[in-house]
Structure 1
Amino acid sequence: MRPSSTAFEIPRRLRALVRSRETSLVVLAALIGTAAGLVVVSMSVGVDFLHRTFFELSPGERLSAHRMLDPVRALAVPVAGGLAFGLAMALLARWRAGREVDPIEANALHGGRMSASGSLSVAGQTLWSSGVGASVGLEAGYTQLASGIASWVGRAFRLRRGDLRILVGCGAAGAIAGAFGAPLAGAFYAFELIIGSYSVASLAPVGLAALLGHVVASAFAPTSLGIIAASASAITGRDLAIAGVLGLLAAGFGIALMRGVALCEALFVRAKVPAMLRPALGGLAVGALALLSPQVMSSGHGALHLAGVLDRSLWAIALVFVLKTLASMISLGAGFRGGLFFASLLLGALGGQLFASGLGALWPALGLDTNTYAIIGMGALSVSVIGGPLTMTFIALETTGNFWLTTAVLVAVIIATQVTRETFGYSFATWRFHLRGETIRSAADVGWIRDLTVGRMMRSDVKTVPADMALPAFREAFPLGAATQVVAVDAEGHYAGLVLVSEAHAPEHAEAATIGEILRHGDDVLMPYMTIKEAVEMFDRTEAEALAVVSRPGERQVVGLLSEAHALRRYAEALELRRRDVLGQE
């Protein structure tokens, strides 16, 4: 895990100007949005070049749009590419130990701090994975590199934590807007998934970054998902009800897909396949599936175009749906780098067509339009896997321009979101965090909770008394009002417990010979590394007004004292600061 720092800094006067004016952040966001559009174009050109080189495609052809691939290349390229990828990852692990921080984790835990060089490495890994045919999307690479550049620029200007998080969101917004030709979707992707909240202060920079990312990417390579929308009058109340059913099914399949990726990864581990060889084996499996249907390869842009313009039989749609699902799970489980964003769009479109075709075969009188349900399924499945209900709704609106169809998509999206949250609780990104032992559920800034530790809040100037000190002597040394509680230690200087001064002076304890007889909380201690959340939970459990802080559980050397009142006050102050950041208040 490497948020990294930057040695490059902007001159102090220019930094001060940027930090003092909101307009300056908007200017930086415009630059980041432009850079994000160029990132999308560069990576798209790069993967097209690899496809033309490795698979002998003609200019403008898409790998997943082919009806038939050369069998030798379909098998050899993913295997050789996977082997090269595995070797490169083994070498990279020696040079850069640990893993890179992605935009969601950076904004949730590290205040927007990302490694620019690490982000470039992740983008390169994603480009290569997709370039050799692995069934992964480029969107993870787009957002990683664009957000990494934004973080590097923000740290060079020494932006405040809140502003840096917004700038990282600007990078992701520009990348998604450029990738899908959907600036509204890009902006809400940043709000919902990268920043974790919407505020007036973030509207202008994020919106402008998304718009410029779209404009720049479209200037070089206009983007279209290729799905044909039905006419506005075709959407009825019946379609809204059926869309709800489709949303329910999409949620179930999305959860299965995310668990399937984790299962594939676990199977590789249980089989004791060396990490270096896993991508090659994954590439072999994807290549074998591509012999049955080339639509499983790479991100699937070409396949999605085919899904929108070709009439297919029920069995043909089902075959591509099943094979693409397996290819995506195997590719990610084997260690290829990429995401499920575009795969979920393609699978959702295919699943929507499959649903409409199957229901239409059972009940011909419904007359369901398969393209309509391709759009609905696309939004429902992608929101289950990726999250961001408004993001997926706006993708549908900007793709089709059909308001009433978007209403049906919104119905499916709402149901898919709620079912996924209630029964699973994760998106694909946060599910991966969960498997690594993190507790992140969104990009909402929780890093400050980890930064606000007991070690930072405690009083370190703690006076101690021996546990065998005579009670009269203690009363003389600590009269009523002199202190609330005093820390007692044993003969070896280890923590023994707390003496409440009021109890030491109480008449009922007059017969006690030493303070050791009235000690409290001998087994209840705090550690310097505990977070404010853990400290508050300890106070609630022990019902103590203050607790001693010891260096380590075994040593029990007293290093400080923390009161519940002070901890709660610091916690309230930190919450108020976060609230003001969200509202854009000074």
Structure 2
Amino acid sequence: MIDVPFVTSPRRAPMRLLTAIRRRMRTSELWLIALSVVVGAAAGLLAVVQSSLAHGLQSLLYGIKFDERLSAAAQIAPITALWLAAGGLVLGLFTWLVQRRRSGLVDVVEANALYGGVLGLVDSIIVCAQTVLSNGVGASVGLEAAYAQAGGAAASWAGRQMKLRRHDMRILLGAGAGAAIGAAFGAPLTGAFYAFEIVIGSYTPSAIAPVAAACLTSVMVAKAIGAPPYSIEIAAQKTPDVLGYALYSGLGLICALIGVGIMRLVALAERWVRTSPIPAVIRPAIGGLLLGVLAVISPQTLSAGHGALHLDLAVGVPLAILAVVLVLKTLASVISLGFGFRGGLFFASLFLGTLVGQLYAGVADMASIEKLSPENAALVGMGALAVSVVGGPLTMSFLVLETTRDFSVAAATLAAALIASTVVRERFGYSFSTWRLHLRGETIRSARDVGWMRTLTAGKMMRKDPPTAPATISLAEFRRRYPLGSTQRVLLADEFGGYVGVMVTASAYADGLDLEAPAETLAVSREDVLSPEMDIEAVMRAFETTETDELAVIGPEGQVLGLLAEAYVTRRYASELEKQQLDLYGEGKD
């Protein structure tokens, strides 16, 4: 018999290579950085494509040049403004078709907070299409939501192909979303801190290099393609003095109040529209008609407001007109989101912030308090209001720094942004993205990872074979079955297996008991039970409230499923928390 040497099949070679790469990805930070570079390139490319699609649609519908901004148009004819209603009708039909098959589209913040960085491609394609269409027809929403969604989706897909850990998936998702924002603004530091503050929810040593690599790559790719970024061409003026810093701090407080007001107005509009008799499919069309009226009054209400931002500063618009534009733009944003257009408030809040800053500088000058530079006030207001709505004080401060290259104005922006962030966090508690999740019933307040707690449920942690006895058993029989020291507690059930209570074994051996009495007469915790879907946080609260050591886990029909001890839950929580801390510092690798 002739021995035939084993030869690896050519078809298996790619799989073996992929397996080896996956193994390296899970054990080496350098390989994760390399993957982040690829993700950053994809995010930058996707941002450019989406921007081109939206601006191309605006050029087609409104007759502007491709390199012009819709919000800087001199005027909009009433017949042209009808494109908003027509686009709203198309969006309404598209959304109606989507909702027949899918419900609850997941965004990047929710994916990182609850699902360990897993973001579906189909969900993301839908969100991006809705956002590009909304912005393309002129609704008062920005493309930033689509940029972050596309970059995050590319990162999540790559991470799933490499079978990355949960912690690395969250970092990669943040890197992809931040890279897309960095490419859009031509600002890598802004993109990086967007990833840290808004998408990942924390600054961690293990995330710095992957996020930075992705953001730098995305900006370079966007520049290599020749795509113009969302450049905010505002030149900083004189360095603020001590009184200027104090006044800019007051501007931060005002921006916080305005930001909270905008978010509450959007929620109020959404609730009113949802409870109105207007059919869901035509709500965006109705909103488009209202936006058309505002567009005829002032084209600055259209799109995100990038062109209008520069126009107002360049022309030197009177304060009265700035105030009118501020009201109209706020109303346009509220109508757009309330009636079902898709998009973000990132750039809209930047534009509104410049208006608030210019108004603030004008009022301070009129009151002879201090002659503030309108440009500096616009920059500080831009950062402070964006922080109030979007979050991320360092993100917005670095945006101002990368825009102006002026550290003094960036420092003033940081001071105002920190005040705005603190006031919003204390008095409101949400950014725009987490506020909308809150309205859907979620409890998350940031992208901090809380999903791992939701995976640890009572049903998964419980002891599935606890000692159980019929509730009608006599105490004498109970003593015979369960001698002292055999078990601490026994679950009592009725004849159908339904939960009756918990019998503490020691209580059956007290003096003076009627041994013929049924065991259920000594049952405790009759109403204090756990359901299998309760997460570890809810379970710990239940133990704290009931002040007992063990609780039964009961099914939907009242049947006994298992028993859960507080000591075990506490140990499990501490173990998982330690694992999370190790991951944060990059020490959780195999």
TM range (shorter): over 0.9
1:60 corresponds to 2:67: yes
Query: Does the residue aligned with 2:529 lie in a helix, a strand or coil?
Result: coil
1:179 corresponds to 2:160: no
The farther-off stretch of 285-294 and 472-481 is 472-481
Give the residue type in structure 2 aligned to 1:535. Answer: V
**Residues 82/476 of structure 1: CA separation in 2 closer, same or farther (3 Å cut):** same
1:434 matched to which residue of 2? 438
Distance 2:62 2:299 in 1: 11
1:223 corresponds to 2:229: yes
1:451 matched to which residue of 2? 455
Give the residue type in structure 2 aligned to 1:212. Answer: T
Identify the match of residue 83 of structure 1 among 89, 96, 106.
89
Give the residue type in structure 1 aligned to 2:488. Answer: T
Tell me how far 1:463 sits from its aligned partner.
2.8
Identify the match of residue 79 of structure 2 among 60, 64, 72.
72
Structural mapping, 1:183-332, within 5 Å: 183-219=188-224, 220-231=226-237, 233-332=238-337
Give the residue type in structure 2 aligned to 1:577. Answer: K
Q: Deviations over 1:525-577 (max 9, x none)?
A: 1111111111111111221111111112xx32111111111111111111111
1:481 matched to which residue of 2? 485
Give the residue type in structure 2 aligned to 1:533. Answer: E
Query: Does the residue aligned with 1:507 lie in a helix, a strand or coil?
Result: coil
**Residues 511/478 of structure 1: CA separation in 2 closer, same or farther (3 Å cut):** closer
Tell me how far 1:41 sits from its aligned partner.
0.8
Conservation of the 8 A alpha-carbon contact between 1:384 and 1:427: yes
Distance 1:441 1:417 in 2: 13
Conservation of the 8 A alpha-carbon contact between 1:180 and 1:225: yes
Conservation of the 8 A alpha-carbon contact between 1:9 and 1:156: no
Structural mapping, 1:299-448, within 5 Å: 299-363=304-368, 366-448=370-452
1:581 corresponds to 2:583: yes
Identify the match of residue 157 of structure 2 among 124, 145, 152.
152
TM-score by length of 2: 0.94
Distance 1:137 1:53 in 2: 18
1:108 corresponds to 2:110: no
Conservation of the 8 A alpha-carbon contact between 2:352 and 2:385: yes
Conservation of the 8 A alpha-carbon contact between 1:226 and 1:309: no
Tell me how far 1:243 sits from its aligned partner.
0.5
The farther-off stretch of 23-32 and 262-271 is 262-271
Identify the match of residue 30 of structure 2 among 2, 23, 27.
23
Tell me how far 1:510 sits from its aligned partner.
6.6
Distance 2:256 2:191 in 1: 23
Distance 1:342 1:406 in 2: 18
Query: Does the residue aligned with 1:276 lie in a helix, a strand or coil?
Result: helix
Distance 2:498 2:371 in 1: 79
Tell me how far 1:149 sits from its aligned partner.
1.1
Distance 1:228 1:517 in 2: 78
Distance 2:485 2:392 in 1: 56
2:564 matched to which residue of 1? 562
Distance 1:122 1:394 in 2: 27
Identify the match of residue 520 of structure 1 among 524, 549, 553.
524
Structural mapping, 1:471-510, within 5 Å: 471-507=475-511, 509=513
Q: Give the fraction of aligned pairs with identical amino acids, expressed as a percent.
A: 47
Distance 2:201 2:542 in 1: 29
Distance 1:350 1:160 in 2: 44
Q: Deviations over 1:252-279 (max 9, x none)?
A: 1001101111112222223311111111
Distance 1:409 1:9 in 2: 52
CA-atom RMSD in angstroms: 1.6
Conservation of the 8 A alpha-carbon contact between 2:364 and 2:371: no
Tell me how far 1:511 sits from its aligned partner.
5.9
Give the residue type in structure 1 aligned to 2:139. Answer: A
**Residues 77/10 of structure 1: CA separation in 2 closer, same or farther (3 Å cut):** farther
Give the residue type in structure 2 aligned to 1:84. Answer: V
Tell me how far 1:508 sits from its aligned partner.
5.2
Tell me how far 1:14 sits from its aligned partner.
2.2
**Residues 11/240 of structure 1: CA separation in 2 closer, same or farther (3 Å cut):** same
1:461 matched to which residue of 2? 465
Give the residue type in structure 2 aligned to 1:230. Answer: A
Query: Does the residue aligned with 1:366 lie in a helix, a strand or coil?
Result: coil
Give the residue type in structure 2 aligned to 1:284. Answer: L
Query: Does the residue aligned with 2:280 lie in a helix, a strand or coil?
Result: coil
Conservation of the 8 A alpha-carbon contact between 2:184 and 2:230: no
Tell me how far 1:287 sits from its aligned partner.
1.3
Conservation of the 8 A alpha-carbon contact between 1:29 and 1:209: yes
The farther-off stretch of 10-19 and 327-336 is 10-19
Q: How many residues align?
A: 573
